[in-house]
Chain A
Amino acid sequence: MPSSNEREDLKPDEQRFIQRMAEHYAPQPLSAVQQATFDRALEERLADSSRSPFLRPSSILVPVCAALLLWFALPYFKDRTPPAWDTAATEMSDMQGTTSHPTLLAYAYYQSEAQEDFLPAEYLALADAFELL
């Protein structure tokens, strides 16, 4: 154990204590095989770290996959026509304030047959009550 200038300032019993601590609290030296394993692992890590990040598979694949996904997904969302219930709701909201409730209900009911599937049973019952069928 190398001695330092601070060690010499210590009292003998303090020096002895530290000396014993240093002796008892130290790792075993690596064997030749362990040393070789350590060196090989270190070399691999150093080689990995020196490789350009642009050449690492993960750093290429992830952005490329994300870009492809966006490329194919965006036109779908852009060109997609909104569902019928969405259109009806929008048009109905445009008519609010200018149209009475029975008119709205009639509008909702008579949009199309397909839309009947989307209208709740309460709407149909109310339409019946107002004789809109």
Chain B
Amino acid sequence: MLVGVGIAEMGALPAEREACFSTFVTLQRDRARRLAWRLVGGDEAAAEDVTQEAFVRAYQALDRFRGEASLETWFYRILVRQAHNYRRWRAVRVLWHSESEAEPADPTSTVQGDPGLRRRIAQALDQLSRRQREAFVLVHLEGFTVQECADFLGKPSGTVKSHLHRALVRLRAELADLSEGTGDTLKTGGA
């Protein structure tokens, strides 16, 4: 659940706003990076870049923040869009350089756990539509509510629920062993 920061908490003076934004960055940094990592397909460098760019864009537009939504909603909306832009840019790059970048960057060198399984999850998420993927990651993996997710995506909550349901069905079909097996019986992927 988000802790709402509105226009009143932001303060009227630029210095107050900057101080508030600095606190906001400290509080949201880890979650923002984790969300970006999941949205861009597990690419560590891309996740950091997307996160930083989202903070920069939010900071640049701070004067235009009028408090209709909480600062978190406003920021995560930027972050989700930024992650989508990155994915789109990567898709274009893959078209031009298909020989070297057919897959998203492999995150396994910097993270613990099962690299094969992580790759399979990334591939399964990749097969979802953009909205299904974003809704699933936001609600089920990151723990935002449907209403918060709907605010981020600018969609009605009923639409988000529909995306969630379809995403779950597809992912369970794709990663059936994940819901059935224990850790010992999980497939780790062929790559």
A88 CB, min distance to chain B CBs, angstroms: 51
Q: CB distance B59 to A24 under 8 Å?
A: no
B152 within 8 A of A: no
Chain B residue at smallest Cβ distance from A24 = B117
Question: Using Cβ atoms and an 8 Å threshold, which residues of chain B touch A26?
Answer: 34, 37-38, 111, 141
Give the number of residues in B that approach A within 8 Å (Cβ atoms): 45
Residues of B within 8 A of A42 (CB): 25, 52, 55-56
Cross-interface CB contact of B141 among A3, A13, A18, cutoff 8 Å: A18
* Range for the number of chain A residues in contact with chain B: 20 to 34
User: Do the beta carbons of B42 and A25 come within 8 Å of each other?
Assistant: yes
Q: B178 contacts which chain A residues (CB < 8 A)? A: 17, 20-21, 24
Give complex CA distance A30, B145 in Å.
26
Residue of A nearest to B31 (CB): A2
Indicate if the CB atoms of B139 and A4 lie closer than 8 Å. Answer: yes
In the complex, identify which listed stretch (B69-77, B86-94, B96-104, B168-176) lies at the interface while the others stay far away. Answer: B168-176
Q: Closest CB-CB distance, B136 to chain A, in whole Å?
A: 9
Instruction: Check A49–B30 contact: CB distance below 8 A.
Output: no
Partner of A28 from the list B111, B117, B122, B144 (CB cut-off 8 Å) is B111
**A46: CB under 8 A from chain B?**
yes
CA distance A48 to B53 in the complex (A): 12
Contact of A17 among B33, B111, B125, B179 (CB under 8 A): B179
Does A1 contact B37, Cβ atoms closer than 8 Å? no
8 Å CB contact of A24 from B37, B56, B118, B179: B118
Which of A20, A25, A39, A45 has a CB less than 8 Å from the CB of B122?
A: A25
Asked if A6 CB lies within 8 Å of chain B CBs, one says yes
Asked if B121 and A4 make an inter-chain contact with CB atoms under 8 angstroms apart, the answer reads: no
Q: What would 9 A/B residue contacts be, using CB atoms closer than 8 Å? A: A3-B143, A14-B172, A17-B175, A25-B42, A25-B122, A26-B37, A38-B48, A50-B59, A50-B60
